[in-house]
């Protein structure tokens, strides 16, 4: 199912409501079986899936041939859905974004990021269905950013405990807009400030919440000490941010999914980052994503 395999000594997958979970890697990820997402799920199953999502951080479902209507309805069981201001939307369902490049142009999601962290209220979760993909290539990686934080040296934890980071839509999406669109979206989506270490509102976990896709700088780095000159301050900030960004690239915190048509990945966007590998061009990979609105990081 993925490059990571459950260890032989692992206990039998636990049963939850009307489905079964099978852990995929020690750090993150579980495969869900025994469920048909075309059905209307009862409240107990939705609650159990949400619990599993918080625990495992990304859930994988195979062979789920759902329609766009069913995709939107399923995602809505977990919260209100956003409409993305830049990505192309499904013609009949603006809550579904259409992702993927063409034979003429690569897709550009191959950077570690947390979806829409540039919003004042970032997403709770994303639900992505594979419509079309090459026979090989185009995998996606997810990263457990709670474990990335937990394993940081104590001195780094102390340094970043009260730091805040600026997240901005423009570095990744500004080039896709006209000058007029940039001006309009700069008003609608000003840069926002989130804590470098956020707290998961359901699990209470501490999470490293900066990403190279949308985090531009630290808002209050000067508060961490006295600096000789601006040179020291600026390079110290950049070095710290780069160090924090690199935590997402540590394989021990990751799981990697090999896609097939009608595979669905459902991830907790508060506690993960992901990276869509662009190794399949000029083949085409087409995906549909619904994104569930979350809560203000604290």
Active site residue 274: yes
Sheet arrangement for strand 254-257: 254-257, 140-144, 272-276
Catalytic residue among 16, 115, 194, 198: 115
Catalytic residue among 50, 71, 84, 113: 113
CB 123 within 8 A of CB 266: no
Two tokens, residue 45: 């199953």
Active site residue 162: no
| Residues contacting 239, CB < 8 A, separation 6+ | none
Catalytic residue among 50, 56, 274, 285: 274
Two tokens, residue 258: 């090999």
Two tokens, residue 70: 């069913």
Active site residue 89: no
Pairing of the two strands 272-276 and 96-99: unpaired
| Residues contacting 258, CB < 8 A, separation 6+ | 1, 2, 3, 139
Active site residue 113: yes
Q: Give which of 193, 196, 194, 209 is closest to 158, Cα–Cα.
A: 196
Catalytic residues: 113, 115, 274, 289
């Amino acid at each position: 199912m993925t490059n990571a395999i459950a260890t032989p000594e692992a206990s039998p997958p636990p049963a939850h409501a009307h489905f079964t979970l099978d852990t995929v890697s020690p750090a993150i990820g579980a495969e869900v079986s025994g469920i048909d997402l075309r059905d209307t799920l009862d409240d107990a199953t939705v609650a159990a899936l949400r619990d599993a999502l918080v625990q495992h951080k990304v859930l994988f479902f195979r062979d789920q041939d759902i329609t766009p209507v069913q995709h939107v309805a399923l995602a809505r069981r977990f919260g209100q859905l956003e409409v993305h201001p830049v990505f192309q939307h499904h013609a009949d369902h603006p809550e579904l974004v259409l992702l993927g490049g063409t034979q003429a142009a690569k897709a550009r999601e191959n950077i570690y990021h947390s979806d829409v962290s540039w919003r004042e209220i970032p997403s709770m979760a994303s639900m992505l269905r594979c419509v079309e993909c090459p026979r090989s290539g185009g995998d996606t990686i997810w990263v457990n950013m709670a474990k990335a934080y937990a394993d940081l040296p104590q001195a780094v934890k102390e340094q970043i405990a009260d730091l805040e980071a600026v997240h901005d839509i423009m570095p990744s999406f500004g080039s896709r807009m006209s000058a007029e669109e940039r001006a309009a979206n700069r008003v609608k989506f000003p840069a926002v400030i989130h804590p470098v270490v956020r707290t998961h509102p359901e699990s209470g976990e501490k999470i490293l919440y900066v990403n190279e896709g949308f985090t531009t700088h630290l808002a209050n780095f000067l508060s961490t000490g006295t600096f000789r000159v601006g040179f020291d301050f600026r390079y110290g900030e950049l070095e710290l941010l780069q160090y924090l960004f690199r935590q997402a690239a540590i394989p021990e915190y990751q799981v990697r999914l090999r896609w097939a048509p009608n595979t669905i990945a459902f991830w907790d966007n508060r506690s993960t980052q992901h990276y869509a590998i662009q190794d399949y061009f000029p083949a085409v990979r087409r995906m549909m994503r619904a994104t569930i609105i979350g809560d203000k990081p604290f």
